[in-house]
Chains A and B, each alone.
Chain A
């Protein structure tokens, strides 16, 4: 626990929490804010890669991620992976983490490395092998231009990867071009490679699923 206040609404965690939370709190958000996040775990395919996604990238989680990345609100770092700590540590027991890189300029601009902070709560080994040579924001690019991004991702210290199982983590997947590039770079050097993303865009899931979620009122 960081402290007893909800990170999103800044009220006391027990204030609009559930009955269970009166006695036992194991989260950084109050249960009301947590229920607003669309946390539906989902597996989908990117060409030959199987990706595990945790949240659907709409609504509240999108706001929070933008607040964390664009407005440099550093305090939000534990929120994204907190409910999944046990699950990830158990499923990827002897894996080491590789986080998706951001360019040196954007790290200096923010003042902190957002992916490494986010992954901190998992308490697993992090290997620093990827780096980006050029700073480009992907926001305003169309589909074709995004595919070129793969050119700017490079590999360093390859010997660190030898005979290791690797879990590659990214924050948001919209087209998947950067994840594909990183996957192709890492694959030949390591023993096993799996991919996890925190948010995935709704284009990866079928329409039927979205309709069901709307009906359920999520």
Chain B
């Protein structure tokens, strides 16, 4: 790519990744850590089997793609591999493409691994960059060049990591030996790597309690009619005292719908430009709001108990197959209440919706 390079006064440099230059030096110390972990529940038989296989493959120095349906406990499966590697004084990184999820997962890991130091590195949390276990966004990986022995990348099919040459290059440079991809919806480039045998492949189709995935109901209609359907569904669900997430394709629409609905329901809205995302999520979780109107920022990595989902205008290009699968995976994550409903409201039939439903049905039948 000739346009990426420029001959400046200090010689040749790459213009595409110029923003990712780290100057600080990392400590390379070795120290004994207590890598025991404590779980408040037991893993199911399938989970145990997969987690054993994974740790064997990683011990051999292989890279792995782990595909598991939403809510199957991908993070829990990796715990054993992490603790085995920590025992051997290896450096481990956990990279996620979204900032919110980094903070949530770092908290979860700290609860499980009580005796080690888990460091979250993301925008706003960059003063401290060393620790026993590093959880960071994929952007922050540029600080750790050739540093990790094992790198775990969660959801490599999500925005902004998907299809971004710079981020993928940085991730490639940050690990020495092996990398583990965790995802529910692997994209084509990953599957091609599996075909070429660069990656080993593991598949888990069951949720730990054996409950099935919830298959979304699709409702077709005219544009204005969908608004009426939306209001009816909101009324029905709020009567049952349930929380509701409404996904809309654009930032503008999230704001517009909020101004339309705010007089009748207690609702909030959220998009990538809202400044107090953590507060909004916490208030929504605690039950202050009945419904939250959001764009695809909330599509993955977030667990809200007993939530129901409606997708407005599911035919929009923003909602591809992966994001639709992830959105319907938000439903039924509570152990006590594994049921819920998910509606796609669409003006026309599209391939993405069909593929999404097909994938979920296949996972249920396996």
Contact = CB atoms under 8 A, between A and B. Distances in A.
Interface of A: 3, 5, 10, 67, 71-75, 111-112
B8 A111 contact: yes
Given A74-B9, A111-B9, A111-B10, A10 B4 contact: yes
Interface residues of B, number: 12
Q: Is chain A's binding surface mostly helix, strand, loop or mixed?
A: loop
Nearest to A113: B9
Contacts of B349: none
B362 interface: no
Nearest to B3: A5
B4 A72 contact: no
Contacts of A71: 18-19, 21
Nearest to B16: A10
B8 to A, nearest CB: 4
A72 B19 CA distance: 9
A218 B18 CA distance: 28
A75 B6 contact: yes
Contacts, number: 29
Interface of B: 2-4, 6, 8-10, 15-16, 18-19, 21
A111 B3 CA distance: 21
A3 B3 contact: yes
Given A73-B18, A75-B6, 8 more contacts: A3-B3, A5-B3, A10-B3, A10-B16, A67-B18, A71-B18, A71-B21, A72-B18
8 closest A-B pairs by CB: A5-B3, A74-B8, A75-B6, A111-B10, A112-B9, A111-B9, A71-B18, A73-B18
Nearest to B11: A111
A73 B5 CA distance: 10
Contacts of B2: 3
Nearest to A10: B3
Contacts of A72: 8, 10, 18
A141 B298 CA distance: 38
A74 B6 contact: yes
A73 B4 CA distance: 11
B15 A10 contact: yes
Nearest to A76: B15
8 contacts: A3-B3, A10-B4, A67-B18, A71-B18, A71-B21, A72-B8, A72-B18, A75-B15
A67 B2 CA distance: 20
B18 A112 contact: no
A171 to B, nearest CB: 18
A67 B3 contact: no
Nearest to A112: B9
Contact of B8 (A5, A10, A67, A112): A112
A15 B337 CA distance: 52
A73 B9 CA distance: 11
A75 B4 contact: no
Contacts of A67: 18-19
Contacts of B16: 10
Contacts of B21: 71
A5 B15 CA distance: 13
A73 B21 CA distance: 12
Contacts of B10: 72, 111
A73 B19 CA distance: 9
Contacts of B19: 67, 71
Nearest to A12: B3
A75 B16 CA distance: 11
B123 to A, nearest CB: 16
Contacts of B4: 10
Contacts of B9: 74, 111-112
B117 to A, nearest CB: 31
A5 B18 CA distance: 17
A29 B6 CA distance: 16
Contacts of B15: 10, 73, 75
Contacts of A5: 3
A75 B18 CA distance: 11
B7 to A, nearest CB: 9
A184 to B, nearest CB: 33
Nearest to B8: A74
